[in-house]
Structure 1
Amino acid sequence: MSGVEGKGSPLWRDRNFMVFWGSQTLSVAGDSFALIAVPLLVLHVTGSVAQMGLLTGLASAASVAAGVFAGVLADRLDRRRLLIWCDLARMALYGIVPVAWAFGPKIWLLYVVLPAAEAIGMVFQVTYVTVVRNLVEPSRITEANGRLGATSAAAGIGGPLLAGVVAGWAGPTAAIAVNAASFGISALGVVMIRFGQPSAARGVWQAGEAPEGQEDQEARGPWREMLAGARFLWRQPVLRALTVLLSFFIFLTLGLTDVLIYHLKHDLGQPDGAVGAVLAVAGLGTVAGSLLVGPVRRRLGFGASWIGAIAVAGLAVVGLGTSGGVPAVAAAAAVYLGCVSVAGIASMSLRQQVTPDHLLGRVTSAFWTIHFSLGPAGAAVLTWGAQRHGVAAVCLLAGVACLLIALAAFFTPIRQPNPELSGAAG
């Protein structure tokens, strides 16, 4: 074993974690109902794909906008209460839809509910990341994140299938009602648990106990508060390197799902059913990677786990473009998503371990904002390249670039087995 990561009592004996884990899994499964039901409502009433796209775009924009200040809310308010209120607000918002629809379709209501719910959901997600560290022992953070990620991925696969059954049997509004109820379950789960106090060890201090002068510096204005997370990322060598390299990784890979679908439909001539089956198998890779990240990091250490996952992901991207059959494409996609899960969960866990508690919300917001900043442009370039030059050429180029990212990481502080224990991380 390369470090302290993984020592401590088993998570299944931790009542707080088990309650939180179960309630959040049900919440994710319920939330996936809206992913199916809302587009169905729009199509049933208007028959317009354009309106569906406009609604999705507005909801995404609201989520991104909320991410700018979500970290400040998570750092300045009681996090447990914030999680509960976010869940209750989303329960109320989605609950309005089936009630209103009982008196006739109201498309305008979706343009209010969905962006508001997505914005609140972003606040919830940022706060969710900040509380995991106070929910389990420090040595179990990676394992806890892995289990939460695995069940979220599994729920994301099964939820839409069940949502389709419910929507077909009782209508899309019934599926939205299930989604609303799931947020009530999530709120109840948070009510039933208690979060521990943040650790003051290794540079992680209690909320409100920042080093002398730090709070005064952050209190100079709201913009300085929101930028505090970005400043922290830049000042920490490991987090700085991770932020930069992961931003390039997202640029190279965010459009891969579209390229995968294009490859299956255009190059291999497969029906829609085959596309769905491949994406389902790929989702199982996410589940596997989430379950493996804890043991892998315990055995190999952070650096080898992260660098190795990025390198294997690059090879999988190359394999994706050169695969000539559906089973090979599915296998390559599953390996890729499994490696992305290992790298992503290890990275998130490290941020939770080394970031001062009073900054964790803003650091999370800053990381996600920077992390995805190059993604849309990269997706456009990748898909354009696939159509112009072919999937094989684009995947070869993207895969080799991922291997270069892994090589570059070897020459940064990322390579350390236990950066959470060294001055380089914090």
Structure 2
Amino acid sequence: MTHEAARRADEPGSSASGGEPHAGLPGARRPLWRQRGFSIFWAAQTLSVLGDSFALIALPLLVLEATGSVARMGLLTAVGGAASVVAAVFAGAVVDRVDRRRLLIACDLVRMGLYGVIPLVWLFGPQLWLLYAVLPLCEAVGMLFAVGYVTAVRALVGTGQLTEANGRLNATAASAGVLGPLCAGLVAAWSGPAAAVGVDAASFGVSAVCLFFVRFPTRSRTRTETPTATNAPTPTNAPTPTPDEQPGTRTGLWQDLRTGIVFLYGHPVLRSLTVLLFVFSFLTLGLNDLVIYHLKYDLGHDDGTVGTVMAAGALGTIAGALLVARIRRRLGFGATWTCSVAGCGLAFAGLGWASDVPVVAALSAVFLACAAMGGTCSMSLRQEVTPEHLLGRVTSAFWTLHYAAAPVGAAVLTWAAEEQGTAPVALAAGAICVLLAVTALLTPIRRAGRP
């Protein structure tokens, strides 16, 4: 979840500093819908998310149908999450060294092949070992794609339209996420979860074709000044880049990670966000498994109901993504991010106690709406305040640090739910999320980006 800037940072045509658009980005003054590269990129990601939402439901259902254990579902989530953390250590260095367009296309093609194996093997019977082999690889490749995705958005639209662009990407991805889970639930009910994974594989192929027609602006080989947003906190103790941090200079992977960590530590708001999100991710990575288990075993519903609830929940993501830029302009980053985390906690606390499907769907929508607002805010801030040539490394360091404990959290959360039940576990996790929001009021996040 990113740090917000002030009003002018969110207005089309303005730079993050409130002056001219970022140099080298000729489309920065035009409306997003008139920028061809962004429009194609937008379509590619929407299609990819449409298919990916199939796997979001199908993979846990494959495990649940074979074992009946929410702890085994959580273990698969944890294994995939651990692979993401390991990949995040190196992802920033890779993204900052290679052609972004080729990297994104390659990631899509690799995931298409890996996910495509699952429905073929499942024709001969369930093979759980395959999921534990394929998912970590897909998650690692997905982390490379995600870091490249963050840098690609800024390259396409510039700093002045980042929040708007991120909001639109998240909103349309969520729109696809409404149809995706609904269809995934129906496909899983009719043909089995493995068939739904096959749809996900095909979506990555379509995304790769779309990305082939996107052209990113050439990255500058000279160091640029750090773009800072109006009313956004300046990294007063951020380090001055050393020669090995200059664009075009080759350094070791661990040095690249250290460079990103040093930048995060030097920015008061990013430092606070990283610490708080470390705990938030630990608590929430296993939420999807918890909801599916609650619907299937606690409430006794079928795969179609799971898909319907997930689709209804995705409506919350749409609402949050569409509202975030307007709310941020009015309230500033600090209030928007803090309220978002508190909303996530309250919704999470109620999920385990909800006994009616509509209530579960509504609470899921509230959680995802708040998560979308907080996530869009924090990503936009990181893009705004980070120099272009460091963006991949800073993003990689940020995700590595705040996501490091999430796989363990998913395993612990689902194990506790199997032992103690979903209701007390959800209440405890939600209460801690609310406590995180209160803690944020004692950090520089509170004063960040006030209108």
State the TM bucket, normalised to the shorter chain: 0.7 to 0.9
Out of 301, 305, 310, the position equivalent to 2:332 is: 301
What code does the residue aligned with 1:327 have? P
2:153 alignment partner in structure 1: 132
Counterpart CA distance in 2 for 1:260 and 1:166 is 19
1:215 to 234, 245, 258: 245
3-state SS of paired residue (1:193): coil
Amino acid at match of 1:251: F
Residues 198 and 348 (structure 1 numbering): CA distance in 2 closer, same or farther, change over 3 Å?
A: farther
Distance apart, 1:92 and its partner CA: 5.0
**1:84 matched residue in structure 2:** 105
Residue 150 of structure 2 aligns to which amino acid in structure 1?
V
Cα deviation, residue 154, structure 1 = 3.2
> 2:361 aligned to 330, 349, 362, which one?
330
CA distance in 1, matches of 2:83, 2:355: 40
Alignment deviations for residues 310-357 of structure 1 (CA, whole Å, 9 cap, x no partner): 222233334445545443333222212211111111111111111122
Distance 1:114 1:317 in 2: 26
**RMSD between aligned residues:** 4.2
Between the aligned partners of 1:336 and 1:28, the Cα distance in structure 2 is 19
Structure possessing the higher relative contact order (Cα contacts under 8 Å, 6 or more residues apart): 2
| 2:337–2:374 CA contact under 8 A, matched in 1 | yes
Q: Is 1:7 aligned to residue 30 of structure 2?
A: no
Q: Which residue of 2 aligns with 1:349?
A: 380
Q: Which residue of 2 aligns with 1:424?
A: none
Asked if the contact 2:312–2:365 (Cα under 8 Å) also holds between the matched residues in 1, the reply is: yes
Q: 1:389 to 1:214 in 2, by over 3 A?
A: same
Name structure 2 gaps, 5 residues minimum.
13-29, 229-239
Matched, 1:312 2:343: yes
TM-score, normalised by the number of residues in structure 2:
0.75
Match of 2:215 among 191, 194, 214: 194
Q: 2:439 aligns with which of 382, 397, 408?
A: 408
Q: 1:394 to 1:121 in 2, by over 3 A?
A: closer
| 2:226 aligns with one of 203, 216, 220 | 203
How far does the alpha carbon of each residue in 1:47-82 deviate from its partner, in whole angstroms, 9 at most, with x for none? Answer: 7889x9798776555444322211110011121222
Which residue of structure 2 lines up, in the alignment, with residue 228 of structure 1?
259
Q: TM-score normalised to the size of structure 1?
A: 0.78
Cα 1:385–1:180 shift into 2, 3 Å = closer
- Which residue of structure 1 lines up, in the alignment, with residue 277 of structure 2? 246
Please give the per-residue CA displacement for 1:380-420, whole angstroms capped at 9, x wherever unaligned: 5545655666655544443343333222212222123438x
Report the more deviating stretch, 149-158 or 234-243.
149-158
Number of aligned residue pairs: 411
Change (3 A) 1:315 1:13: same
Hey, what does 1:418 align to over in structure 2?
449
Deviation at 1:127, TM superposition (A): 0.6
Q: Is the 8 A contact 1:59 1:114 kept in 2?
A: yes
1:239-282 deviation line (CA, Å, top 9, x unaligned): 00000011122233334444445655676x44235554433322
Alignment of 1:13-412 (within 5 A): 13-33=34-54, 61-93=82-114, 115-162=136-183, 178-196=199-217, 202-204=225-227, 211-215=241-245, 221-261=252-292, 269-272=299-302, 274-320=305-351, 323=354, 325-383=356-414, 393-412=424-443
- Alpha-carbon distance in 2 for matches of 1:313, 1:350: 20
* Distance change >3 Å, CA 84–CA 173, structure 1 → 2: same
Q: 1: CA distance between counterparts of 2:353 and 2:191? A: 43
Q: Please, which runs of 5 or more residues in structure 1 have no aligned partner?
A: 422-426
Partner SS state of residue 8, structure 2: coil
Distance 1:278 1:96, change over 3 A: closer
SS at match of 1:138: coil
Q: Distance in 2 between matches of 1:77 and 1:259?
A: 38
Kept after mapping to 2: 8 A contact 1:2/1:417: no
